[in-house]
Amino acid sequence: MKRITVALLGQPNSGKSTLFNGLTGANQHVGNWPGKTVEKKEGDFSHKGTDYTIVDLPGSYGLSAHSEEEVITREYIANGKTDLVAIMADASQLNRSLFMLSDYAGIQVPVVLIMNMMDIAHQQGKMVDIDGLQKALNIPVIPIIAADKKEYASLYDFLEHRNGALLKDEMLKTLYEDTIGEKYRALETYIPRDGIGVFSQTWIISKLVEKDQKAIELVRTAVDATQFKNIESILQDIKDGNLYTGQCKFNWVDSLIKKYVTENRHTFTRSTFDRLATSKTWGKPIAVGIIIAGLIVSMLIGFPLMGIFWVAIPPLSGLLAKGLMLLGAANWIISLVCGAVMTAVTFAFMMVSYVFGVSLVFGFMEDVGYMARVSYVFDNTMSKLGLQGKAIMPFLVSFGCNIGGVTGSRIIDSWGQRVMTIALSWVVPCGATWGVVGVVSGAFFGKQAVFVVLSLFAVAFLHLLVTYRIFRKSLYKGDENLGMIMELPPYHRPHWKNLFASVLNKMGNVFKRALSVIVLISVVFWALAYTPDGNITNSIIYKIGMFIEPVTKIFGLPWQLFMAFVASAMGKESALGVLASLFTSSGIWNAVATRGAVDTAFLSNTMLAAISKPEALAFLFAFFFNMPCLMALAATAQETHSKKWTITIAVYYIFSALVIAAIAYRIGMLIF
C-alpha cells in the first residue's frame, strides 16, 4: 500500500489536535522529538487503499525561530520528511489564524489550507468564499468541522484525488519591496534566485530582515564570506525588521479577508456574562470562582474512581500473595511484588483517576471557549512571572492536588513556560499537606499554630519569586513570546465524543509513564525499608538514618523526622504513618503503602516527648516545601518530556526544603 505523510501545522486552539484525534483515533504514538523535550505526536489511518501517517506539529503562532516548537516545525518541514503540509485555520478568527499561512508562503513543500470551525463562522454571520480563496491562493482550501467526523468527506475526497500545491509569495514580495525598499532589493542580489533548500528567496529575505538567527546561519552556509559580510552590513541598517514584515503579512491577510469573507456584523453580540467575565473588576473573581468550582467537580469525578482502585487492588494483591505462597515463593519476593509493586500500581491508577476528572472538567472549559477568558483576565498578573494568563489555572488546581496542577499545565503553549508553570505549581500546598501541617502544628504550637501557618504562606510567596528567578534564564530563551490573545473565541457547545477520546488518550499516556516512574522509586524505597521480621530497627533505612543523623541535625531534623521527610516525597499522607511507625517500631513500608488512619493523639504525645519545638518547626517547613509526591513527579515527567528537568525540579525542591528547614530551626531556637 502507498503511504503518505501529512504534517498538521497551525496555531494553538486552531483545532489541529481535534482533527488529529478524529483521523487517527487510537492509532497514536506519543514521544519526544529526537534530542528535544517537545512532545511528538504521530498517528495512522487508512483510506481507500492508501496508508496515511499524520504528524501533529507543535502548535505555534508563526515559523520564526523564537521557540523550540517553531525550530522543530521548520526543521521537520525543511528535511523533506512530509509529503504534504496541512495548515489549520479557524474560520471564525481568520485575522489571527491566517497569519500562519502568510508565514508559510514561499516554503516549497505542497500545502493545503484546512478551514476549520465553519459552523462557528456561520453562527457569527461570516461567509467564506472557498472557491474564490482557493483561486487566489492557488492551493486547495478544504472547509471542515474538525469536531464532527461526519464532516470529513471533503477532506477524504481531497486526499483521495489530489495533492497540495505550492503557496506562492509574489504578492508578499511586492509588499516587502514597497515597505522595506532599497534594502530589500539589495538583499535580493545576494540570495540565490531559486532560494535555499525548500525556502524561496522571498521567504529567506523576510526572515533575514526579522533577524532570524536560524535563517542567518542558513544563508551563511550558502554564500561566500564576502557576500555574507555585505548581507550583515545591510541588516545592521534595518531596525525593527519584524514590524515591517509583520505589517506586510497582516496586510496580505486583510486583503484576502476583504475579498473573500463577508460578515453580518449584527448577528453576534456579547452576553452579559461574557462582558463580566472579561471585565477588569469582575473578571478575576469570576475566573477564580469557576476554577475552584471546576476543581470541586474534578474531585467529585476523580475521587470515587480513586476510591474504587484503593478498595479493589488490595484484595487482588492478597490473592496474588496467596498464589505466590502456594508456588513456594520466598517471603521477600511476595513482599516486593504484593507490597511495593502492587502499591505502585495502585498509586498509578489513582493518579490517572484524578487526571481523568481534571482533564474532563478543564477540557470542557477549554472546549467551550472559557479558558481563553481566564488567560485574558490574568495575563497582566501572570506576565510578571513570565507566564501566560491561563497559568493561573494550574496554580489554583494545585490547592486540591498538585497532580492536577501539573497535568493542567498542558494548556500552556510554550514548553519553557509550561515547565516554569510546573516548577512554580509545586510550591502550592495540596490538600494532603494541610492535613499533616494541622496535626503537627496543633500538637506542638497550640494557639500559636496560626502564626506558623501564616509564616509558611509568607515563605511560600518568597519561594515562588526565588524559583522564578533561578529557572527563568534556563527556560526563557531571549524575549519569549508570551502568547498574547489577539481575539477571544466565541462560546460554543462542547464536542463530547472528541473530548472523551482526548481525555482517554491522555489517561493512557499518563498511566504508562507514571507506572514506570512510581514502580522504580517504590522498589528502591521498599528495599531500604524491608525487614524479614517487620522491625524498623533492623532495616537499612534505620541504619542509614542513624548514620546520617549528624548531618540531618544540621537541618534541625532528628533522623526520624528526616525519614518522614523522605517518605513524604512518596505521598504527603505517608508522613504521619511513617512517624507513627518510627516511634512505635512497626513496619515503615506498611505505613507508606497503606497511608491508613493514624492515632494522632497517641502520636502527638509520643512526639512531644522526643521532639523539641524548634525541630518540629524545622520539620514543618521541610515537609511543606518538599516535592509534592511521587505521583506529581511522574506527572511532571509526563508533561515536560524531560528527565533532566524532572530531576532538576525535584532536586531543587528537596534541597531548598532542607535549607529552609535549617533556617527555621535556628529561628525556632531563638524563639522557643
Average pLDDT over residues 142-147: 88
The tens digit of pLDDT for each residue in 38-50 reads 677 888 988 888 8
pLDDT band at 510 (very low <50, low <70, confident <90, very high): low
pTM: 0.64
Angle, CA 160 vertex, CA 159 and CA 162 arms, to 5°: 65
* Confidence check: pLDDT of 213 > 70: yes
* Confidence check: pLDDT of 181 > 70: yes
Among 85-94, 267-276, 336-345, 454-463, the minimum mean pLDDT is found in 267-276
pLDDT band at 627 (very low <50, low <70, confident <90, very high): very high
Q: Is the dihedral of CA 159, 163, 169, 171 positive or negative?
A: negative
Contact 579, 560 (CB under 8 A): yes
Supply the pLDDT for residue 600: 46
* Confidence check: pLDDT of 382 > 70: yes
Higher pLDDT, 604 or 656: 656
The tens digit of pLDDT for each residue in 319-334 reads 888 888 888 888 888 8
* Confidence check: pLDDT of 237 > 80: yes
Output DSSP code: residue 57: P
For the beta carbon of residue 97, count every other beta carbon within 10 angstroms. Answer: 26
Interatomic CA distance for residues 276 and 274, integer angstroms: 5
Give the highest mean pLDDT range of 157-171, 178-192, 301-315.
Answer: 178-192
Angle, CA 219 vertex, CA 214 and CA 221 arms, to 5°: 100
Percent of the chain whose pLDDT exceeds 70? 86
* C-alpha distances out from residue 483 to 13, 60, 245, 300, 405, Å: 12, 9, 19, 33, 20
The tens digit of pLDDT for each residue in 515-562 reads 776 677 667 777 777 777 766 677 787 788 788 889 999 999 988 888
AA letter at 559:
W
What is the rounded average pLDDT for all residues in the chain? 81
On the 0-12 / 13-18 / 19+ scale of CB atoms within 10 A, 237 is exposed
* DSSP-derived pairing of the beta strands 84-90 and 126-128: unpaired
Give the highest mean pLDDT range of 372-376, 433-437, 624-628.
Answer: 624-628
E strand intervals along 345-402 = none
Contact 324, 338 (CB under 8 A): yes
The tens digit of pLDDT for each residue in 571-620 reads 776 776 666 556 544 455 555 555 545 444 545 566 676 788 899 899 99
Supply the pLDDT for residue 660: 96
Strand order in 28-32's β-sheet?
28-32, 39-47, 50-56, 2-9, 84-90, 111-116, 141-143
The tens digit of pLDDT for each residue in 12-61 reads 778 888 888 888 876 777 666 666 656 778 889 888 888 899 999 887 77
The tens digit of pLDDT for each residue in 444-491 reads 888 788 888 889 989 999 998 899 889 988 887 544 444 444 456 667
For the beta carbon of residue 613, count every other beta carbon within 10 angstroms. Answer: 15
